[in-house]
């Protein structure tokens, strides 16, 4: 299996590394090269502006890809709200280019919980979409275009988290941002009224890999973690596992900060993930399990003086 992973951000890099280390062939494709990965299993990379007419088809020919995973941007919700036309073009035009060239290849499109408005506590695949921001509208437009493909899975994923270095370009995922601030003894100001079902990057990679290689896949699938938790409560879990001072987590209303453009609830549930043959054996981890794994793997708890 040779997979073209379009998008070299946090998720794309993790997926391509996993496929390469597992013995499959993976090629990253994006406008700009990914940061240095190191080691012998760093995936290959090619330059691609997927919105450029014909560029995606040429990338397929150049790589000989059997399957495609789409994890391209723009994905910063705040940026999309401020640049709605660019966000729509970046997702919808990319989808059109894929439909024109993908043929009968397996395509997995990583979509978002933001296709819902947050009114339902944890919508599943049967719930009607109703995006409340520009990011959700752009992703939903891409979903509808890609639905014409013969072998596609639209994988809506809740908030993805994992380890990233403090000097990562652009923005850090929520978990990494909290860890680096708390370890620097800096406050983390987060909403107590914005809820999500976080998913560890390892579990997203495992699900995506299964969907790329399975004989039969669902056309629409939700992936949310088992915990429905507010960002403030999750930050408190991270602080406790690090040994950081609890009062460094400052809870505020969602409307007061950078999460004002997000729905109050960006949670997902699924009627298929645990039963479909492609994903039935996978079990997403709780935030306590995932956060503990990442902290143990990448850092040490903070030691505070008792004086």
Per-residue pLDDT, 170: 76
- Please report the pLDDT score of residue 291 as a whole number: 96
Say which CATH topology domain 2-162+199-225+268-284 has.
Rossmann fold (3.40.50)
| In the chain, domain spans | 2-162+199-225+268-284
What is the distance between the alpha carbons of residues 189 and 283, in angstroms, rounded to a whole number?
31
Residues of the chain where predicted confidence (pLDDT) is lower than 70: 36-41, 300-307
- For residue 191, the model assigns a pLDDT of 97
- The answer to whether the predicted template modeling score (pTM) of the entire model surpasses 0.85 is yes
> pLDDT by residue (tens digit) across 129-168?
999 999 999 999 999 999 999 999 999 999 999 999 998 8
């Amino acid at each position: 299996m040779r997979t073209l992973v379009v998008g070299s951000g946090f998720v794309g890099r993790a997926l391509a590394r996993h496929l390469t280390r597992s013995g499959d062939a993976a090629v990253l494709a994006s406008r700009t090269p990914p940061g240095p990965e190191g080691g012998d299993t760093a995936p290959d990379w090619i330059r691609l502006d997927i919105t450029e007419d014909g560029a995606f088809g040429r990338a397929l020919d150049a790589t000989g890809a059997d399957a495609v995973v789409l994890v391209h941007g723009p994905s910063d919700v705040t940026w999309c709200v401020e640049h709605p036309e660019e966000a729509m073009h970046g997702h919808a035009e990319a989808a059109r280019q894929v439909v024109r060239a993908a043929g009968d290849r397996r395509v997995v499109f990583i979509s978002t919980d933001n296709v819902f408005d947050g009114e339902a506590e944890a919508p599943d695949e049967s719930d009607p979409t109703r995006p409340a921001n520009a990011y959700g509208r752009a992703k939903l437009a891409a979903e509808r275009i890609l639905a014409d493909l013969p072998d596609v899975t639209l994988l809506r994923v809740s908030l993805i988290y994992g380890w990233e270095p403090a000097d990562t370009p652009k923005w850090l995922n929520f978990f990494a941002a909290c860890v680096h601030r708390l370890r620097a003894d800096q406050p983390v100001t987060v909403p107590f009224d914005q809820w999500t079902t976080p998913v560890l990057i390892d579990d997203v990679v495992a699900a995506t890999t299964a969907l790329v290689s399975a004989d039969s896949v669902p056309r629409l699938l939700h992936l949310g973690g088992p915990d429905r938790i507010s960002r403030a409560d999750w930050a408190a879990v991270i602080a406790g596992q690090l040994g950081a001072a609890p009062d460094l987590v400052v809870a505020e209303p969602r409307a007061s900060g950078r999460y004002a453009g997000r729905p109050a609830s960006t949670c997902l549930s699924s009627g298929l993930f645990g039963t479909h043959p492609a994903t039935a054996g996978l079990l997403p981890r709780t935030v306590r399990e995932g956060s503990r794994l990442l902290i143990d793997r990448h850092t040490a708890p903070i030691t505070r003086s008792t004086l």
